[in-house]
């Protein structure tokens, strides 16, 4: 970073993004923007920017993870604070975008909350959004401002290529039919076969029939997904492939949501390793699966994207290797 960058580029952090913002600043050779987020006794959030941002290119790093509503409101207040302090451009860096699963009306009289959140972020004063592995890629179109959609796939691919010799014969397994395209991309890049878990409900019955399309016997199974929420799908898929003769199961997911019975399910499952990124703060939260959890950082990816946005360079050029985002 040049002296001009250090003067004109400012990265600030919400409480759910400080760990990533600090790592991004280390990668870019920048100091973290001075600011604070606290709450009144009644829970109202207070944000204060403690340095001059007039005419600067400002970025706010905040995942809208648990507590989701508090994290979201803190992001909105931070954006409003920078707008009223006369920042030239404000980019909301949202490594994990909450409410992404409410992206359509799948039954009558329900909201499309992902669109509502997009409207709130725009109304607060954001000029653009930088996010990672949206649960539904079409959410980019919910915004009326530019959206840069990153993928954590380069981080996972780099990890597995570095450890390729220790994995033996591998096969990528899609834990459900909806994830086949992403799984196929990983299989192509890693140069291995693809298998698919097909779950169907029998007509007139509550019994779920699970079929496996492809061969896993004697192989290490790799599964990839954008998030692990309750872990039900991946744990059931892991049991199935082990029953079919797989020697090991490794699961990788960008967002470690891990709610409900997720920890217990993973701990009791045949999954040996769960690779997740730091889009959501981990820390003590991952203690129940400490023996299986492996946290990979996306700070370098996000930092490079911020650098490119600041200098009006292509962000999509970062993914020309074929390890692109979900489409």
pTM: 0.94
pLDDT band at 6 (very low <50, low <70, confident <90, very high): confident
CATH match for 154-296 among 3.40.50.2020, 3.30.390.10, 3.40.50.10860, 3.30.470.20? 3.40.50.2020
pLDDT at residue 327 above 70? no
For 128-168, what is each residue's pLDDT tens digit? 999 999 999 999 999 999 999 999 999 999 999 999 889 99
- Kindly list the domain boundaries of the chain, sorted by start residue: 3-152+299-319, 154-296
pLDDT band at 198 (very low <50, low <70, confident <90, very high): confident
Q: Give the residue-averaged pLDDT of 58-68.
A: 97
pLDDT at residue 323 above 70? no
pLDDT band at 16 (very low <50, low <70, confident <90, very high): very high
pLDDT attached to residue 79: 98
pLDDT at residue 208 above 90? no
Of 199, 239, 292, 326, which residue is the catalytic one? 199
For 91-124, what is each residue's pLDDT tens digit? 999 999 999 999 999 899 999 999 999 999 999 9
Contacts of residue 109, Cβ cutoff 8 Å, sequence gap at least 6: none
CATH match for 3-152+299-319 among 3.40.50.10470, 2.40.50.70, 3.40.50.300, 3.40.50.2020? 3.40.50.2020
Which residue has tokens 């939260």?
285
The question of whether 210 is a catalytic residue gets the answer: no
Order of strands across the sheet that contains 248-256: 208-213, 193-201, 170-174, 220-228, 248-256, 273-277, 293-296
CA angle 108-112-118, nearest 5°?
170
Domain pair 3-152+299-319 / 154-296, same fold = yes
pLDDT at residue 199 above 80? no
pLDDT attached to residue 204: 47
Which of 114-118, 172-176, 265-269 shows the lowest mean pLDDT across its residues? 172-176
pLDDT attached to residue 76: 98
Backbone dihedral region of 204: left (phi > 0), alpha (psi from -120 to 50 degrees) or beta?
left
Q: Give the residue-averaged pLDDT of 297-311.
A: 97
Which of 100-104, 177-181, 184-188 shows the lowest mean pLDDT across its residues? 177-181
Q: Give the residue-averaged pLDDT of 170-177.
A: 93
Computed over every residue of the chain, the mean pLDDT equals: 93
Distance of CA 300 to the CA centre of its chain: 14
């Amino acid at each position: 970073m040049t002296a001009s960058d250090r003067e004109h580029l400012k990265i600030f952090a919400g409480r759910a993004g400080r760990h990533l913002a600090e790592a991004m600043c280390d990668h870019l050779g920048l100091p973290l923007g001075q600011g604070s987020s606290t709450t009144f006794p009644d829970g109202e959030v207070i944000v204060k920017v403690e340095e001059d941002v007039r005419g600067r290119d400002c970025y706010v790093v905040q995942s809208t993870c648990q507590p989701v509503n508090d994290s979201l409101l803190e992001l909105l207040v931070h954006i409003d604070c920078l707008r009223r302090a006369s920042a030239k451009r404000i980019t909301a860096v949202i490594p994990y975008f909450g409410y992404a699963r409410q992206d359509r009306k799948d039954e009558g009289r329900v909201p499309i909350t992902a669109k509502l959140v997009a409207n709130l972020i725009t109304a607060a004063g954001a000029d653009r959004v930088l996010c990672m592995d949206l649960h539904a890629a079409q959410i980019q179109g919910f915004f009326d401002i530019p959206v840069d959609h990153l993928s954590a796939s380069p981080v996972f691919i780099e990890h597995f290529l570095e450890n390729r010799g220790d994995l033996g014969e591998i096969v990528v397994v899609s834990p459900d039919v909806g994830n086949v395209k992403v799984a196929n991309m990983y299989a192509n890049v890693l140069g291995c076969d693809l298998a698919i878990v097909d779950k169907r409900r029998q007509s007139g019955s509550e019994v779920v029939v699970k079929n496996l399309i492809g061969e896993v016997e004697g192989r290490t199974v790799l599964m990839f997904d954008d998030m692990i929420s309750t872990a039900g799908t991946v744990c059931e898929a892991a049991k199935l492939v082990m029953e079919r003769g797989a020697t090991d199961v490794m699961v990788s997911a960008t967002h470690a949501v891990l709610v409900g019975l997720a920890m217990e399910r993973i701990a009791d499952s045949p999954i040996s390793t769960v690779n997740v990124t730091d889009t959501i703060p981990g820390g003590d939260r991952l203690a129940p699966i400490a023996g299986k959890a492996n946290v990979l950082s996306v700070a370098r990816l996000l930092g490079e994207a911020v650098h490119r946005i600041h200098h009006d360079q292509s962000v999509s050029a970062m993914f020309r290797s074929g390890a692109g985002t979900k489409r």
